[in-house]
Structure 1
Amino acid sequence: MISPSDVLQKNLKMVHGCPMVYAFAHNWERIEQFRSRPDDIVIATYPKSGELCSLTDAGTTWISEILDMVLNDGDVEKCKRDVITAKVPMLEMAVPGMRMSGIEQLEKNPSPRLIKTHLPIDLLPKSFWENNCKMIYLARNAKDVAVSFYHFDLMNNFQPFPGTWEEYLEKFMTGDVAYGSWFNHVKGWWKKKEEHPILFLYYEDMKENPKEEIKKITRFLEKNLNDEILDKIIHHTSFEVMKDNPLVNYTHLPTAILDHSKSPFMRKGITGDWKNYFTVAQNEKFDALYKKEISGTTLQFRTEI
């Protein structure tokens, strides 16, 4: 019988060519065989594309709470019904020996279900495509993602210890991190939206003009919410409110998994923090890789706002 201690801080495990969190990779068939419902709504991000994680991340948590509020017409009390990990389960989340399976929670949740994932396009269960489920992808600039992912891995015991920032950045650039290459992840989801109902959003746009981006979400989900409700959603899902909300800031998870003393789950939620970490040489090397990888796409990321 596998216990939680058997999977914490273990090296990543390859799943169909993608480095995966060791705990999540156990019994991968459960992911491949997952049965979606036609009205499921998928929230997809690369880890820390808002404030990171691969267990969960604040950017994903932010848009998850926004979507929950949109579906509940801005009713704050309804949105307080449970912790975020129950309201918006993470599809691939599983910890052997602990009652924490995302799939088990999803099977209990009523429709329409909100389903969070960090999976790259190729690893998403086929039933989502077969059911033509709506999906929202939140993308964040790679430099802030790298910094946020690094800090998350310092406190996230699901991941192997990240080492120094210099060591970690090298691994990030080569895709030797959980969920693989940021470049491949973003490009895969960007291309897929040509043939599937995917709303592709940028974290930086969400930070700069949340009302406009939430309007895009409401239109995509065919909801009609007035300005008063939109303003309520913006306030309830602001970084300042959410970081003190125990239902969404992940303080409900045991310290053995997320050690908030090493780095808070909701760290800063700002754009441009990468400037405090990247050296000039690191930035030049990263820019050269970015240019090579993103050329040929119409993706437009901003590294500051």
Structure 2
Amino acid sequence: MAKPKTALADVLEKSMIAADTLERKDLIFTYKGTVYPTTLCTAEIFKAMESFEARRDDVILAGFPKSGTNWFGQILSDLIATAAKNNKNETNHHNDVPEEFPYLEIGDPEKYERMKKLPPRRLIRTHMAPQNLPESIFKNKAKILLLLRNPKDLATSYYHFSLVFSPFPSYESWDSFFKDFMAGKVPWGSYFNYLSEWNKYIVSENVMPVSFEEVKEVSLALFDVHIYSFADYEIFQLANHSGVSDWRNLFEEKHNLEMDKMYKEHLAATALGTRLNYDVYCKI
């Protein structure tokens, strides 16, 4: 018997089918100055999201598209499930509640009512910049794990993904994609603005930045994500197929110069900019 589709697979499949019927110009729309994919997000969803009530024990995994949120989110899901199973004081009733699409801003406007029925500890992913998230996330001090990735690898991964994921506009060339990426005209906007906004929040004890590259190199055992500590870290089986420094296959001198300048002007002097280890991962 075939396994039932997950909420993630179901929503993405429907989104791709809908995207195949649209012209390229209709695949994206702008809401409050940021670009989003039409078949994944809507203005109605964003308005309904304002009513979302975060809990103190929620775990918010925040990361720009192609930062590794799906990969890291699965690891965290396994971590939380294992912890709930081993903790006699914490009962896990997730099997009794229908699965919800893991990204906060994707789905239907009624999802936020359904999410009220999810038992602790809820793991919620998002690509949203902090100023666009529901105020309750910060007011109720939900735990936020901010996933970072060096901008050159992120842009490279984003470009390859846009070629195969129909809800995102595709591009005839790397040059045309790079132009839109640097201008913040790709879904979820500008990565540089995204990091600049999150930099205002990292002084909070509830926000923990984690580098994609560090996780790949050191192992997840170094991060307890403010949740649990384990003696046994066998669940941390890291995938090694997604590379670091793939950007070298696409970036020419003009691309390097433009992104280096953007980083220097917007992020170099910030705490998050330092966490990117730009000179290590983004220099020739």
Q: Report TM bin, short chain.
A: 0.7 to 0.9
> Match of 1:296?
269
* Residue 30 in structure 1 maps to residue 35 in structure 2: no
Classify 1:75/1:128 alpha carbon distance in 2 versus 1 (closer, same or farther; 3 Å): closer
2:31 corresponds to: 15
1:233 is matched with 235
Query: SS in structure 2 opposite 1:71?
Result: helix
Q: Which string of whole-angstrom CA distances, capped at 9 and with x for unpartnered residues, describes residues 58-79 of structure 1? A: x112221222222233699xx9
What is aligned with 1:224?
229
Q: State the secondary structure of the residue aligned to 2:65.
A: coil
Match of 2:222 among 184, 191, 215: 215
Tell me, which stretches of 5 or more residues in structure 1 are unaligned? Answer: 50-58, 241-267
Per-residue deviation, 1:42: 0.4
Measured in 1, the distance between the counterparts of 2:257 and 2:282 equals 17
5+ long unaligned stretches in structure 2: 1-14, 86-91
Amino acid in structure 2 at the alignment position of 1:134: K
Contact 1:175 1:181 in 2 (8 A): yes
Give the distance between the partners of 1:173 and 1:86, measured in 2 at CA: 36
Q: Distance in 2 between matches of 1:22 and 1:169?
A: 21
Shift of 1:295: 3.1
Shift of 1:86: 4.0
User: Does the CA-based 8 Å contact 1:92-1:103 persist in structure 2?
Assistant: no
Q: 1:94 aligns with which of 101, 107, 110?
A: 107
Q: State, as a whole percentage, how many aligned pairs show the same letter.
A: 28
Residue deviations 1:246-295, cap 9 Å, x none?
xxxxxxxxxxxxxxxxxxxxxx4110000001112221222122211213
- Say what the alpha-carbon RMSD is for the aligned residues: 3.1
CA distance in 2, matches of 1:11, 1:216: 37
Distance in 1 (CA, whole Å) between partners of 2:162 and 2:108 is: 17
TM-fit CA distance, 1:133 = 0.5
Residues 142-173 of structure 1, C-alpha deviations (whole Å, 9 max, x = no match) = 00010111111112122222331110001111
2:253 corresponds in structure 1 to 280
Query: Following superposition, which runs of at least 4 residues in structure 1 exceed 3 angstroms of deviation?
Result: 6-9, 73-76, 85-88, 101-108
Q: Deviations over 1:154-210 (max 9, x none)?
A: 121222223311100011111111111111111221220213510100001001101
2:127 to 113, 118, 124: 118
Q: How does 1:181-196 map to 2 (within 5 A)?
A: 181-195=190-204
In the TM superposition, what are the counterparts of 1:49-198 in structure 2 within 5 Å?
49=67, 59-73=68-82, 86=99, 89-94=102-107, 103=112, 106-195=115-204, 197-198=206-207
Letter aligned with residue 161 of structure 1? S
**Shift in alpha-carbon separation, 1:74–1:33, aligned structure 2, 3 A:** closer
Q: Deviations over 1:86-106 (max 9, x none)?
A: 47711111279xxxx864663
Tell whether the 8 Å contact from 1:73 to 1:225 is kept in structure 2 after alignment: no
Which one-letter code corresponds to 1:136 in the other structure?
L
Give the residue type in structure 1 aligned to 2:33.
G
Deviation readout 1:90-140 (Å, 9 max, x if unpaired): 1111279xxxx8646634432110000000011111111121111101000
CA distance in 2, matches of 1:146, 1:102: 31
Q: Secondary structure at the match of 2:200?
A: helix
Matched, 1:42 2:60: yes
Please say if residues 89 and 106 of structure 1, whose CA atoms lie closer than 8 Å, have aligned partners that are also in contact. no
Q: Is the 8 A contact 2:27 2:167 kept in 1?
A: no
Per the alignment, residue 246 of structure 1 pairs with none
Letter of the 2:186 counterpart = V
Q: Take 2:112 and 2:167, find their aligned partners in 1: how far apart are those partners?
A: 18
After TM superposition, the structure 1 stretch with the greater mean CA deviation from structure 2, 23-32 or 269-278, is 23-32
Q: Given the two structures, how large is their TM-score scaled by the length of structure 2? A: 0.78
- 8 Å CA contact 1:74–1:233 kept in 2: the answer is no
